[in-house]
Structure 1
Amino acid sequence: MKYNDIDFNGKTILITGGAGFIGSNLAFYFQENFPQSSIVVFDKFRSEEKFSNGNLKSFGHYKNLIGFHGDVICGDLNSKEDIKALEAYDFDYIFHEAAISDTRVYDQEIIMQTNVNSFYDILEMARRMNAVLVYASSAATYGSLPSPQTVGKEHPENPYGFSKYAMDQIAYRYMNIYPDMTIVGLKYFNVYGAREFFKDKTASTVIQFGHQILSGKAPRLFEGSDKIVRDFVYIKDVIQANIKACAPKKNGVYNVGTSKPRSFQDIADILQKELGTDYGTEYFPNPFTGYQMHTQADISTSKEYLGYTPEWELEAGIKEYIDEIKTLYKTEVAHG
């Protein structure tokens, strides 16, 4: 499906973090819809290295790119040499998805180096090449502010959220200094869908609950999960936002959600309906203090300046996603 009138055929497109969840979906979107485009994936790919919280340092996975025909470059955003390798190309569009995206990593130095320092390099590359730059910001910039979360009212409460907040401030400065550049930041809310499995513990509750149910167990939810709501947005709406961000009416930072928050209980119930099970729900106390109970993206400016309108309700998104959840359970979990 094509989301606007831009013809990407004949264009050269860079996707950093292209072996990750959103990046790999972008890569296949261009490959399938614009077969004459040249797509370059730049990704660190995963190693065995872990943060102190036990989570992997990089989530990029080759399995997300099986069937991809473009160029693949294994590189680290923190390496000037690796970034320099990209100078061999002349990019028309840059989608900057690469980041440390784990909200429970508290090593401020590595997060700021990876997410913020490298952003200057990406911005400068876009400026030199006259490339359109669309980058991943995050709803984590809002912290636990009350809903609806509105661009311009941020209060990050972890190093990751602050790093994305800092990126937004840098981007705004570039927009002012170089008004001829096209720069758009997208604050993703709770994204779910195809190719997220390799995010491991940071994958959405949709696939995590799905795999609990497929293993014959009741989904495990925090007590009061019918009152814990999030703005869950399907991957296809996120791709739509990225494509529309390539021709904005106005540079800026925009929310990408549905503005229709749904509960964790809703997800578990929809999954059981789709999977034909009736295991009930197992509840346990929420171990987190200061846990956010409600998120809802204010998408008024996204509609106005990007022409973004979410098309996927939670029920429809899970219904389309269910076959992949089952396949991954068989191939990666049951035989993992």
Structure 2
Amino acid sequence: MPTWHGRCRLIPVKTSPTEWSLHLPLPNGVTGAESLAFDARGQGPYTGVSDGRVLKWGGSSVGWTTFAHHANYRKFPMCTVPVAPSEETESLCGRPLGLAFHRKSGDLYIADAYKGLMRVGPDGGEAEATGDVYFTDSSVTYPRRFNTEIMMNADATGRLLKYDALKKQVTVLKDGLPYPNGVAVSHDRTYVVVAHTVPCQAHRYYLQGPKAGHYELLADLPGYPDNVRRDEKGGYWVALNQEKGRSGVTTAPVKHLVGVRLDGGGVEVEELTAAKGVTLSEVTERKGQLWLGSVELDYIGLVV
């Protein structure tokens, strides 16, 4: 279906239904593969789950294994037995969300909602806090499990941050942001893309060049975004946790938007749809295939 962009061009948008080629169930008792990552050897996916661990998929013969957790994880019995996640269990066990590998070192960087930014080596184990990474703090007022309050109260205390490994310090690049969520470094590394869950937008912050330090709108989005990832065509995949309501529509659609692909200029060129009730938090493209993660589901999807 064509869509108008701010540059007044009519762009044909490809619509792709997420007819899952594969359901990859998570281990019993855990949910919420919010973010997905593959290492430099092509192994994975790796994902953080609701009990505080980062898991690694080793293929059908191996299944899921524990790859990483924070240093004090095993000191808390509630972390190692299946229990329903709560604010108490998450604050003790951690809740790993964003994941990304450093290609040269092989280290995995983990953005944990409670334990902060952590790093673990290529062989996994206990994660330590360090790294040279761009990340967001969605709110300085509300913890992760009260994310709906961020939206309901129009909270705008979010921040875009950088941890400098050399200086070992965190720098606030931009504050006063409304619900900043996923982050992706651009293909040419001149800026970072930041998805704002509210007000359904993607912005970019310039790291270098004549616009260094400038924060500007990249795209208005047709839903509430979660993570953003570089695609294989010079653009970005943005996962949508929920589609925007449309005026005049009174019945729930059989399918709804769960993700959009933007080109490098922020123009929407592809949409992903899924059955009612399916929500996504990440779309990761690898070798032409789309791996789909969700903070709410108990499996990972694959679209070939």
Q: How high is the TM-score relative to the length of structure 1?
A: 0.29
Bigger strand fraction: 2
Bigger helix fraction: 1
